[in-house]
Amino acid sequence: MTTQYKNLINGELVDNGQWIDVVNPATEQVIGQVPDCGQADLDKAVAAARAAFQTWKKTSVEERRALFAKMADVIKANSDELMRLLTAEQGKPHMQAGSEIAGCVGMTRALPMLNLEEKITEDSDKRLSRTRRVPVGVVGGIVPWNFPVLMAIQKIVPALLSGCTMVFMLAAGSLAAPQFLGGPSTLWFTSIVYDFFFQAFNWPRGAAYAFILLAACIAFVMLMLRLFKVSLGETIK
């Protein structure tokens, strides 16, 4: 039976009865399902995060750091299972998947050590002006397909550490884009570059292909600028 992974909203695992298949890119077999979310699901998640914010913002930085230390321990204890899931869902070789999970452990321990110190903008005989960063509310986070776990940690830890709450979703890039444009067996130029670097370890050829991709992107951008009669300076104002 295919495992169904549900949304975590307000401390509960929930779904809406609609599912998206998760395909192993190596075997093209369905290895799981995730909820096919819509506006109603997003509204519920945001409402729950807003309610939780009223309590979370009052916790001390020390309390938040202690929770992240426990979170790092849990990730480390389950690193083998997370590595296998990452390989099956995303296609990373075990060595790279293991490195990503190990990086998550280290980052979950390191990022909480950051401090948001007050900045004195003026200290004179007339006035003392300070800038202090405070929690603002709900933060939205989306990660790409290539480093889904590591980049999730990069967003989750700073947001929660600052006293905000978060609604987090994974980008569907590695699943939706291949299906829309030709199926999971479609060969992507970026995948070729990645394979040269990290699987064949052919750095000269990988660099050459990466340069070709960069040149093609620059040529495309310049063509579009000329087509629409827009200068490069106008695009960065």
Q: What is the pLDDT of residues 145-187, one digit of tens each?
A: 788 888 889 999 999 999 999 998 765 433 333 333 344 444 5
**Is 143 in the same domain as 178?**
yes
**Is 207 in the same domain as 173?**
no
Indicate left, alpha or beta for 211 from its phi (over 0: left) and psi (-120 to 50: alpha).
alpha
0.75 exceeded by pTM: no
Structure tokens at 224: 């579009």
Report the alpha-carbon distance of residue 166 to residue 225 in Å, rounded: 37
Closest by alpha carbon to 46, among 153, 166, 159?
Answer: 166
Q: What is the pLDDT of residues 101-112, one digit of tens each?
A: 999 999 999 999
Is residue 90 in a domain? yes
**Is 155 in the same domain as 41?**
yes
Pairing relationship of beta strands 19-23 and 30-35 according to DSSP bridges: antiparallel
Q: What is the CATH number of the domain that holds 100?
A: 3.40.605.10
Structure tokens at 221: 């951008």
Is residue 2 in a domain? no
**Is 95 in the same domain as 174?**
yes
Number of domains into which the chain is organized = 2
**Is 178 in the same domain as 196?**
no
Q: What is the DSSP letter of 85?
A: H
Residue 206, domain extent: 187-237
